[in-house]
Structure 1
């Protein structure tokens, strides 16, 4: 059986190019491939790291593991995975735009600057603090599967019983552009054109490629080329992302005038240009030509859904998440279980604390695999799964001295790769936004206009996350949304907005979100310290595709976790894995209420990515 734990949209690209090759040891579990499976050429042996024994430099204040300070400002802030995107966000705010205007500009820019993680061929989710309503609101910007693709045909495309990683069968309606439009209609200040046209110009002029993005771009493109999964069309993506036959290297200029032209059409025609106008016609023609299923009718029917976030209380902090079809409920469940334990008393980065957190994840993820799906097609017991009573019941299963041998989902009562960024403005609007093409760059398919000119973006492969098992809540159906990994985070403290934050990266997202909240609430870290702290990630839980758990799985730890902690975790029965690049990408904008009655923003970013945080 092929194991597919859903990693960060970015690290999965690297794994796909090397560790995900079917002949290599499994990158998540360290297990060899199943006997009799076809193999690919083994990757070249890794060269010794000449810096392996060198630690971080010493800062004069704060914890020694922290790489930089939280950035503070009074009027606005932005934290993204690319410096230019952050600058675009700040510039949009300074031109009089709202935080939503800035978020749209940032997201459009990241689709060009960080194509390994996101783009207008994917979906978007958001939670924000509405200062007029004084509440957290959210939207679900995920698209449906094509109406013309049946379960029988989807099953005929399966590999080892699951939908493939790439190709037309994985493509759903992209929700991002309509999410931009819907959010702008409610919260935008600048004219629509003024938000997008500067980004179109950037695409045409180009920008230097930073280190992490160059790394994943090369590996994603290599994975498309040498994978055993057939992709219906390959020339367009090569023309866009590997002009001249190679992906751009670190520091080299990269431009995408094709995407610039597409953004100009959207700037002129609004969301209808994408979902009903010339771009929709061109996308339909592309899939008709290559043998896909997405149509103009599928696109025209799409609408962003504004939703009421679910909430829980963690030691006096209100934590909000988006409900299924996302995994936002998993963050709440992990925190609800952890609240039953004295993590502060156990000690920061102690074996006892990490043991409880990882066991809480295992318990939450079995419920995730059992229940999470499109709520329009399945009854999901969200209130029960989110309850404190259920968390207390699950917490009693955690043993202090050893891991649980096997974890089962709760018995519900019968009654019933990714980019993340934060941005806030002077009026108090705070936006937590996440957007993704899912695995790496997406499906491998870049549409064109029918005359040989690519449209400059890749379609998502989110449809991979459907199950194919009869009776499963997440089983594929036409016009259905698959289970979604991408989730924004938001917290409220003492009735005021506190953090617009997130940790990108597949199944790492609820694990990472919970770690950020625990680091700040239980251990008193500030936003940058909470993100720079060493992280853990557990692989091997059951998945919403129908894949079963793999025993107790593997707990991967970053190298900064103390050696004494690792030794104690092994003694508890944990199988530990090395750092694998799958610990997510974090951004945070925090609002601080000051004694003088004024508030300021503290912005933090991810040292594991290329981005920066800025405030003014």
Structure 2
């Protein structure tokens, strides 16, 4: 590695500093598209949709029009944090009885029966209508150009695309649209998606109705029906996003915001509440003591998630209890500093692959935005000639009758994608996210502690070696010391190998004293933070 002449010699890049606006995303073409919108006079919310649309073209295994989105927004006009739930619902024709009658004991991971209604396009429209200053035609133009004229595939995206070849080959339309003679595009190869360009053009001209009620909706519905699926025109035509009240907790003077269930954002807040009961100042970063503590906290918070988080329109979700500081204190007392718990249960009984981006503009409007198909290329199904990859979010439902997250028509599943926003003294401070399924809450906590507890800058906080707890063990990045690994094993932890499982971070921090922007971007992705 090169010898950096300043700062942390182990970092791959410097913090990006800018006075006006900034975009951080997982692909440079998307970051640049958002920046161009800012320089053309658009605000953060316009730029976020432009960047998200480009990501749907250039990083199609992670995101797309057939997926879902969530966002936290801070508009200087009303000076409050707002939250948009842009997740889709189970098809009206679906039921647990339908799947059980066909021999399923759990929801299929991919295929035509793994679909839920796409929420992305409606979410984009809601943001533009409520907070934007530009039209769909303006913000979608960069994505349309890349889909029509082509784009050179970047390095990490090419490798992830390659790993999805077998899935894409299972669907004729997916193979024709996203493979070249049965192969994923190579790094640097120019790739075009004309079918998706046509769909984006239709949305640019006709807005959300073009996708949910027009020709596109009818083509999606007809294709799914022909393939034996359950998603219908009625599901698309009746879909709507939901503006919800953000949830928050205060961690040592910083107000951390998340979306409420059906997302898992409450897990991040619960972990932070428990960690307040420990003296992290006297625990070495990424030591065995540190990793053990965060792993045990994660087990407790995720146990509550798995028992209690569901669509609040269908089941009571005890968010206030899960966020209670006293509950966090009592919960943290279950942690043994020396030995890992073998299993964690819920703390009480009830009565009754992804892309992340952040944008901050010259007025310091802020959006923390996440968009996903769930697993790479979602269901593996491309709907007819639309170029739209349909997500596989239905896999998040349970087929157990008594489970809070059991499948029901029109229900939203437990959702993994979570944007984060930190406020300090009632002003936006840090907009960030760590994409990656179950990694997201534990990744967000690691990044936030890196900054708040260990003094790392916005780049260091996201670049520092991470760890991830799975049910069967802990995966550690290679820079974590051999001594730490040995000590973890001596405590009784099982260590496992992991590749491309530690999430992807993007973050923008507003420096309180100068009001300048600081951006960080994860070397685990192809992207960058860029400002002007």
TM-score where L is the length of structure 1: 0.85
Distance 2:330 2:406 in 1: 29
- The answer on 1:447 being equivalent to 2:378 is no
Please tell me whether the aligned partners of residues 475 and 496 of structure 2 are also in contact (alpha carbons under 8 angstroms): yes
1:23 counterpart residue number = none
Aligned counterpart for 1:391 among listed residues 316, 323, 328: 328
Q: Let me know the Cα RMSD of the aligned residues.
A: 1.3
Distance 1:198 1:423 in 2: 17
2:484 counterpart residue number = 565
Please tell me whether the aligned partners of residues 75 and 365 of structure 2 are also in contact (alpha carbons under 8 angstroms): yes
Distance 2:431 2:528 in 1: 16
Map residues 4-153 of structure 1 onto 2, 5 A cutoff. 56-153=1-98
Please tell me whether the aligned partners of residues 559 and 579 of structure 1 are also in contact (alpha carbons under 8 angstroms): no
- The answer on 1:304 being equivalent to 2:241 is yes
- The answer on 1:469 being equivalent to 2:400 is yes
- The answer on 1:458 being equivalent to 2:382 is no
2:475 counterpart residue number = 556
2:527 counterpart residue number = 611
The Cα offsets for residues 286-329 of structure 1, whole Å up to 9 and x where unpaired, read as 11211111111111111110011110011111111111111000
Distance 1:477 1:612 in 2: 40
1:30 counterpart residue number = none
Please tell me whether the aligned partners of residues 54 and 142 of structure 2 are also in contact (alpha carbons under 8 angstroms): no
Aligned counterpart for 2:172 among listed residues 203, 221, 235: 235
Distance 1:407 1:456 in 2: 43
2:311 counterpart residue number = 374
Distance 1:425 1:338 in 2: 33
Please tell me whether the aligned partners of residues 168 and 174 of structure 2 are also in contact (alpha carbons under 8 angstroms): no
- The answer on 1:214 being equivalent to 2:158 is yes
- Identify the range of structure 1 (65-74 vs 169-178) with the bigger mean alpha-carbon deviation: 65-74
The Cα offsets for residues 501-541 of structure 1, whole Å up to 9 and x where unpaired, read as 0000000000100001110111010110001100010001x
- The answer on 1:403 being equivalent to 2:348 is no
1:321 counterpart residue number = 258
2:506 counterpart residue number = 587
2:438 counterpart residue number = 507
1:168 counterpart residue number = 112
Please tell me whether the aligned partners of residues 381 and 412 of structure 1 are also in contact (alpha carbons under 8 angstroms): no
Unpaired stretches in structure 2, ≥5 consecutive residues: none
Distance 1:192 1:439 in 2: 27
Map residues 418-497 of structure 1 onto 2, 5 A cutoff. 418-448=354-384, 454-497=385-428
Distance 1:297 1:347 in 2: 55
Offset at residue 345 of structure 1 (A): 1.1
Distance 1:456 1:406 in 2: 44
The Cα offsets for residues 115-173 of structure 1, whole Å up to 9 and x where unpaired, read as 010000000000011212222111100011110122211234565x2111111211111
Please tell me whether the aligned partners of residues 267 and 441 of structure 2 are also in contact (alpha carbons under 8 angstroms): yes
Offset at residue 349 of structure 1 (A): 1.4
Unpaired stretches in structure 1, ≥5 consecutive residues: 1-55, 226-230, 449-453, 541-552
Distance 1:402 1:59 in 2: 40
- Secondary structure of residue in 2 paired with 1:194: helix
Distance 1:133 1:354 in 2: 40
2:277 counterpart residue number = 340
Distance 2:488 2:281 in 1: 18
Offset at residue 58 of structure 1 (A): 3.3
Distance 1:579 1:378 in 2: 35
Offset at residue 444 of structure 1 (A): 1.2
Structure 1 consecutive aligned stretches of length 4 or more whose deviation exceeds 4 Å? none
- The answer on 1:578 being equivalent to 2:515 is no
Offset at residue 593 of structure 1 (A): 1.6
Distance 2:131 2:79 in 1: 14
Distance 1:265 1:223 in 2: 28
Distance 1:604 1:210 in 2: 19
- Secondary structure of residue in 2 paired with 1:420: strand
Distance 2:103 2:157 in 1: 30
Distance 2:286 2:511 in 1: 26
Distance 2:404 2:167 in 1: 31
Please tell me whether the aligned partners of residues 274 and 329 of structure 2 are also in contact (alpha carbons under 8 angstroms): yes
Offset at residue 413 of structure 1 (A): 5.8
2:213 counterpart residue number = 276
Please tell me whether the aligned partners of residues 259 and 455 of structure 1 are also in contact (alpha carbons under 8 angstroms): yes
Distance 1:62 1:402 in 2: 37
1:417 counterpart residue number = 353
Please tell me whether the aligned partners of residues 129 and 429 of structure 1 are also in contact (alpha carbons under 8 angstroms): yes
Offset at residue 494 of structure 1 (A): 2.0
Offset at residue 212 of structure 1 (A): 0.9
Offset at residue 347 of structure 1 (A): 1.4
Distance 1:413 1:238 in 2: 46
Provide the aligned length of Structure 1 versus Structure 2: 532
Distance 2:399 2:135 in 1: 44
Distance 2:320 2:429 in 1: 24
Cα distance change, pair 157–84 in 1 and its aligned pair in 2 (3 A): farther
Cα distance change, pair 58–349 in 1 and its aligned pair in 2 (3 A): farther
- The answer on 1:531 being equivalent to 2:462 is yes
Map residues 536-551 of structure 1 onto 2, 5 A cutoff. 536-540=467-471
Please tell me whether the aligned partners of residues 136 and 203 of structure 2 are also in contact (alpha carbons under 8 angstroms): no
- Secondary structure of residue in 2 paired with 1:441: coil
1:154 counterpart residue number = 99
TM-score where L is the length of structure 2: 0.98
Offset at residue 580 of structure 1 (A): 2.2
- Secondary structure of residue in 1 paired with 2:70: strand
Cα distance change, pair 485–157 in 1 and its aligned pair in 2 (3 A): farther
